Structure 1
Amino acid sequence: MRTPFRAVSAVAVVLVVFGIQARGEPAGPLAHLARVRPGRSARVSSAAPTRSSNWDNRRIEPGARHVLAEIEGPATIQHIWMTFPVPEPSWLGRDGNANHSELVLRMYWDGAEKPAVESPVGDFFAAGFGQRAEVRSMPVQVEGGDAYNSFWPMPFLKSARIEIDNQSEKPLGSFYYHVDYVNEESLPADTPYFCAQYRQEFPTASGRDYLILDAEGRGHYVGTVLSARARSPEWFGEGDEKFTLDGEQNPSIWGTGTEDYVLNAWGMGVGTFPFFGVPILEGEWGMVGWRTTVYRWHVADPIRFQQSLRVEIENAGWISEDELAEGVHRGFVERNDDLATVAFWYQVGQPKRFTELPPATERVLPNLDVIIEGKDLLAGATSEHASLSLQKGYPWTGEGQLFIDNEHGQGAWVEFTLPVEKEELRQLTLRATYSYDFGIYRIALDGEEVRGRTDFYNESVEVRELNLGQRRLSVGDHTLR
């Protein structure tokens, strides 16, 4: 499927039909509300213990763990809500706070030594690579990228323990949370546990499919969050998903492409829906380094297994001809991109440990680039009708971005020197800031226009990567204007 990026403007409307079953009992998604059931609702939260205090948050120091809830069963957790400051410096943290990719969410059921749920907070809530994103799905909802909600039901028989592990070098201040649950009179002995496990490969290995889940036992699979960063040009999303059930030799459920698995078609478009979505899609078609996070919830169509389940996906797609052997078709080949996933499932009994969570320092995407920072660009820059300075701030790497203050308007220009020490085919990427008071510019390399009129206006400050194309530059200095 050849065109991976497209604009999406859609409103998902879910019509709930409240019907009547043959025996006269209510039916439909809200049917449980029409019958009073035994049990008693309760909550554990970060609320201040006294009415006169508004100190309703917690602080988690670097390297520390905080227990959100320890609950006796039988009970069912119905909802978890949490919020915390953005990682950049703000009034809630002069030097910033921990990023949600550095916070690990763990859940333990019925006294188990190993967690049944283990994932970075962001990935659990369908936002990968440390980025924040709004999600509007049925089991997971993130308002404005800030208020994290999980509606996955989580039953247990004897006990539950939920904790956050701050693996950042920065503290997490102003951490608020609710854990809403129901104390049950009883639960069946074969009540399944809610499970979720993060896994990554930076990059994926050749010669085999990427593993999402390797489970043993009886249960059903309910969802996937997948984040990908392209290490090669072109398009990653042709890899098929594969579900191998109960020891069969070959997968009996075999898909037709990554974008098809997440219920898109002919590429992907940003949008979040009840059972599938693309919260993050950044970059431009064909460029190295573009990133996406997608989710697919099997709520309406859980994958049932009786003995075991293995979930895999191919890392395959289009690739540029310079990376191929002679005679190989570029439309469907193995790639080696960076993939990270969270598998969601329910199973009877404690889950098998099939992977280990890497530390936060290893969950950061490795640098693929030869980077020329703003400070180095400023040293050899020239301009007309524009003043140049180094602007420090959270979104920018190194000592800050090279800020161009256009005092003239149309006709202003600036030139930078790009030193090349080794001749090789490279993709050129300009990491640029978009803002509410920025204008329109053209971009040229060594006198050749590589991007036409490019509008850098945006309602809010946002850093984006612009593809300047793949080029083989000779050794020496080149000029970007």
Structure 2
Amino acid sequence: MNTGYGSVGSSLRDLPWLRDHRRRRVSSWDRTGGNIDRVTVCPGKTLTLADIQTAGSVNRLWMSVAPAGFDAGIDHDYLRLLVLRITWDNAEHPSVLVPLGDFFGVGHGRTTNFVSAPLQMSPEDGKGFTSWFHMPFAERARFELLSECQQADIWVYYHIDYDEFDALEDGLGRFHAQWRRSNPTPGISDEGMTNDEFQFGGTNLTGEDNYSILEATGRGHYVGCVLNVVNLRETTKGNWYGEGDDMIFVDGEPFPPSLHGTGTEEVFNMAWCPTQSYNAPYHGLTLPGGPNWSGQISMYRFHVEDPVPFRRSIRVSIEHGHANRRSDDISSVAYWYQEPPHTPFDLPPALERLP
């Protein structure tokens, strides 16, 4: 009997339990029996990676991509021009719509070696992408890769591993991921202020102007994000970008929300204006930026042990600098599970996604 999702987990303690589901894979293996184990997506085209028509749960997605001939030309930012789109159960709208590189945990169209529990980039130079997020579905799972490159053909290598079930039980949310960006965030001028006044002054008693990582309606739980910053302030004074508090508003609650933080580094389990690369199962700083917190920064925080449930709605937000005074380039990926249907969301055009 090919049973459903069940109660057996993925911990080492659970491995001895015998199971009845079937293990399946869709991959880019060479159907001629040769060794060209890849497919190609051309500019402006959509590649269907998998169209699975059964009940099941994807639990490993591995990918690696490269420009054909390793020459991207004008499409050197191809990790922002390739879009992963995933649709569950014949839904009208996709539940995952994210630039490929950002989906796997690092922003700015860059790769770097790092390890977390749900997402990883592995050698060589972080170009082996893996997602371990469990993604259940009741009758269909459609994985697509869209190319908005202008010239480059992209070689695509992939595995999509899933468990096949007779049926999916009730009570399982569908996996979602959304990309957002504000470039720049609407801050204020520092003219006439001391650096301390600009960086640490002011008040925010509404949260209305915070950067929104996620706004969703329905019932579900938020399980984390990747947050990317490009420091746009040019100064020789202290230029720490991360004095913004996180504020998570659940089910329409007023300010102050039940979940109110104390600064960007605390949200991501770090401290004292970090400048060092670090990765752990549930949090990390994959791109720490340059001197005086300059340049491109990327970090992640996954709520595996502490998901944030919502019954009607959720808004996950963070200040851009204390009291929203800074004007930086901020982008993000939010990950969550929820009951269908979800509120539809779009992806900004290609030119608005470029680093």
Decide: shared fold, TM above 0.5: yes
Q: Structure 1 CA distance, aligned partners of 2:37 and 2:74?
A: 20
Displacement of 1:333: 6.2
More helix by percentage: 2
Aligned partner (choices 322, 338, 351) of residue 361 of structure 1: 351
Look at both structures and tell me which one has the larger radius of gyration over its CA atoms: 1
Deviations for 1:104-133, whole angstroms, at most 9, x for unmatched residues?
001000111211001001111111111112
Partner of 1:338: 329
Displacement of 1:356: 2.5
Q: Structure 2 CA distance, aligned partners of 1:175 and 1:26?
A: 33
Partner of 1:417: none
Q: Structure 2 CA distance, aligned partners of 1:67 and 1:27?
A: 30
Partner of 2:223: 222
Partner of 1:263: 269
Q: Structure 2 CA distance, aligned partners of 1:308 and 1:120?
A: 25
Displacement of 1:78: 0.9
- Opposite residue 362 of structure 1, the aligned amino acid is E
Secondary structure, aligned partner of 1:350 = coil
Partner of 1:468: none
- Kept in 2, the 8 Å contact 1:75–1:155? The answer is yes
Displacement of 1:273: 1.0
Secondary structure, aligned partner of 1:285 = helix
Q: Higher mean Cα deviation, 164-173 or 304-313?
A: 164-173
Displacement of 1:91: 4.3
Displacement of 1:167: 0.7
Structure 1 residues 28 and 191: alpha-carbon distance in aligned structure 2, compared to 1, 3 A threshold = closer
Partner of 1:19: none
Deviations for 1:161-181, whole angstroms, at most 9, x for unmatched residues?
001111111333331100000
Displacement of 1:32: 2.8
Aligned partner (choices 40, 55, 62) of residue 59 of structure 1: 40
Q: Structure 2 CA distance, aligned partners of 1:263 and 1:254?
A: 14
- Kept in 2, the 8 Å contact 1:97–1:172? The answer is no
Structure 1 residues 118 and 271: alpha-carbon distance in aligned structure 2, compared to 1, 3 A threshold = same
Partner of 1:104: 83
Question: How much is the aligned-residue C-alpha RMSD, in angstroms?
Answer: 2.1
Tell me the number of residue pairs that the alignment of Structure 1 and Structure 2 aligns: 320
Identity rate of aligned residues, in percent?
A: 37
- Kept in 1, the 8 Å contact 2:97–2:346? The answer is no
Displacement of 1:33: 1.4
Secondary structure, aligned partner of 2:265 = helix
Deviations for 1:141-200, whole angstroms, at most 9, x for unmatched residues?
110311000000000001010011111113333311000001012211332100000000
Displacement of 1:361: 1.2
Structure 1 residues 236 and 31: alpha-carbon distance in aligned structure 2, compared to 1, 3 A threshold = same
Secondary structure, aligned partner of 2:291 = coil
Secondary structure, aligned partner of 1:100 = helix
Q: Tell me the TM-score normalized by structure 2.
A: 0.85
Structure 1 residues 286 and 259: alpha-carbon distance in aligned structure 2, compared to 1, 3 A threshold = closer
1:172-191 pair list within 5 angstroms: 172-191=153-172
Q: Does 1:246 align with 2:251?
A: yes
Structure 1 residue runs of 5 or longer lacking an equivalent are 1-24, 318-331, 366-481
Deviations for 1:378-405, whole angstroms, at most 9, x for unmatched residues?
xxxxxxxxxxxxxxxxxxxxxxxxxxxx
Structure 2 residue runs of 5 or longer lacking an equivalent are 1-6, 188-207
Q: Does 1:71 align with 2:49?
A: no
Structure 1 residues 28 and 285: alpha-carbon distance in aligned structure 2, compared to 1, 3 A threshold = same
Runs of 4+ in 1 over 4 A off after TM superposition: 25-28, 94-98
Secondary structure, aligned partner of 1:358 = coil
Deviations for 1:302-352, whole angstroms, at most 9, x for unmatched residues?
1111221110000014xxxxxxxxxxxxxx761111100100000111221
1:11-410 pair list within 5 angstroms: 29-51=11-33, 53-85=34-66, 91-93=69-71, 95=73, 99-144=78-123, 145-206=126-187, 208-232=209-233, 233=235, 234-250=239-255, 251-268=257-274, 269-285=276-292, 287=294, 290-317=295-322, 334-353=325-344, 355-365=345-355
